[in-house]
Amino acid sequence: MDIKGAVALIAGGGGGFGAATARRLHAAGARVVVSDLDEAKGKAVADDLGDGAVFVRTDVTDEDSVRQAIDAAAQLGPLRITVVAHGGGGGPRTLDKESRPAPQVSFTKVLDIFLAATYNIDRLAAAAIAATEPLEHGERGVIINTASIAAYDGTIGQAAYAAAKGGIVSMTLPLARDLAPLGIRVVTIAPGTFLTPAFGDAEPEQLDAYWGAAVPFPKRMGRAEEYAQLAQQIAENVYLNGETIRLDGALRFTPKGAK
C-alpha cells in the first residue's frame, strides 16, 4: 500500500510504540488519528505533527469511544491502516507468598484491556475499511496488532498477560481469513523488550544494561522507532498477511525475564 495519502488510526498513539508509529506514518504522508486515553500525551503527539494529525481521546475498552475514533479517522478520508498499540496493566503471580490464589478479576481485567479491546478495535476498524474503495491488488487496508514475546515465553507473574497476548497471536490468522475477501490484511507484531515509557522513568542506560544483557543481538533494548519501521513495512508489503512477526533481537525470556 502507498502510505502517502492514506488515513491511519493509531490506538495508544500517545505511547511509546503508538507515538513513534504516528510520527513515522505521518512523515511518509499519511493522515493520522492519534487515539489515546491520556489526553496530555496523545494531544502532544498530534499537536507536534500538526497538519494531517488529530487527537481523539479514546478508551479502547469502550465501544462507543472506539467508534468515535474510527469516525474521526473516516472524516480525514478512507481509513486504510489501523495500528493497535495501547497499554494496560499486568497481573499478579498465580499464588502469592502465602499460597493464596490471585483474584480471578486480576486475570479477566488483563484479558479485557489487551485481548478483548484489540478485537473490539479490529472488528470496528475492519467495518470502516470494508466501506472504502479497493486499491491496487484489491487491497482495502491493513490492521496491525501488538502482541509480545510473552505470548510464547511468558515470565513469572505473566499468566494473564501471556494469555492475552497469546490470544492476539492466535486470532491473527482467523481474522486475516475472515477479512481476506474484502482485501483487508491482519498482521501482528510480537515485540521483545523496548525502551518505552512502559518501563518507567529509569535512565535509558540503566534499562538497556539490565534488559539488553539478555538480548543476543543487538545487545540492547529495542527502540520504538524500530517497531514503527516494521509497522510501515507491514503496511507497504501487500504479501504480508495472517502472520505474527517477532521483533526481539532473538531474545527468549527466562522465567524471570532478563536474568
Ligand X SMILES: NC(=O)c1ccc[n+]([C@@H]2O[C@H](COP(=O)([O-])OP(=O)(O)OC[C@H]3O[C@@H](n4cnc5c(N)ncnc54)[C@H](O)[C@@H]3O)[C@@H](O)[C@H]2O)c1
Q: Is 196 in the site for ligand X (CB under 6 A)?
A: yes
Sign of the CA dihedral 147, 196, 93, 153?
positive
Asked if 228 touches ligand X (CB under 6 A), the answer is no
Q: Is 90 in the site for ligand X (CB under 6 A)?
A: no
One of 166, 183, 191, 212 touching ligand X (CB under 6 A): 191
Backbone angles phi, psi at 247, to 5 degrees: -130, 90
Q: Which is nearer to ligand X, 55 or 114 (CB)?
A: 114
Please say if 161 is a catalytic residue.
yes
Residue 14 or residue 141: which is nearer to ligand X going by CB?
A: 14
Can residue 59 be called a binding residue for ligand X (CB under 6 A)?
Answer: yes
Angle of the 16-27 helix axis to the 39-49 helix axis, nearest 10: 20
Query: Residues 1, 7, 17, 132: which binds ligand X (CB under 6 A)?
Result: 17
Q: Does 109 bind ligand X (CB under 6 A)?
A: no
Half-sphere exposure of 229 (CA within 13 A, CB side): 7
d(CA 90, CA 105): 12
Q: Which amino acid is at 196?
A: T
In 104-184, which ranges are continuous DSSP H helix?
104-110, 117-130, 150-153, 159-179
Query: Can residue 146 be called a binding residue for ligand X (CB under 6 A)?
Result: yes
Shortest approach of ligand X to residue 58 CB, angstroms? 5
CB 135 to ligand X: min, Å: 28
**How many residues are given for the chain?**
259
The set of residues, in sequence order, having a beta carbon less than 8 Å from that of 50 and lying 6+ positions away, is none
197 binds ligand X (CB under 6 A): yes
**Distance (Å, whole) CA 177 – CA 181:** 8
To the nearest whole angstrom, how small is the minimum distance from the Cβ of residue 22 to ligand X? 11
Catalytic residue among 161, 210, 227, 239: 161
> Judged by CB, which is closer to ligand X: 85, or 132?
85
Residue 216 contacts residue 251 (beta carbons within 8 Å): yes
Name which position in 38, 63, 112, 178 contacts ligand X (CB under 6 A).
Answer: 38
- Please give the angle made by the CA atoms of 6, 173 and 191, to the nearest 5 degrees: 70
Determine which residue in the list 1, 9, 22, 37 makes contact with ligand X, applying CB under 6 A: 37
Interacting residues toward ligand X by CB under 6 A: 12, 14-18, 36-38, 41, 58-61, 85-88, 114, 146, 148, 191, 193-194, 196-198
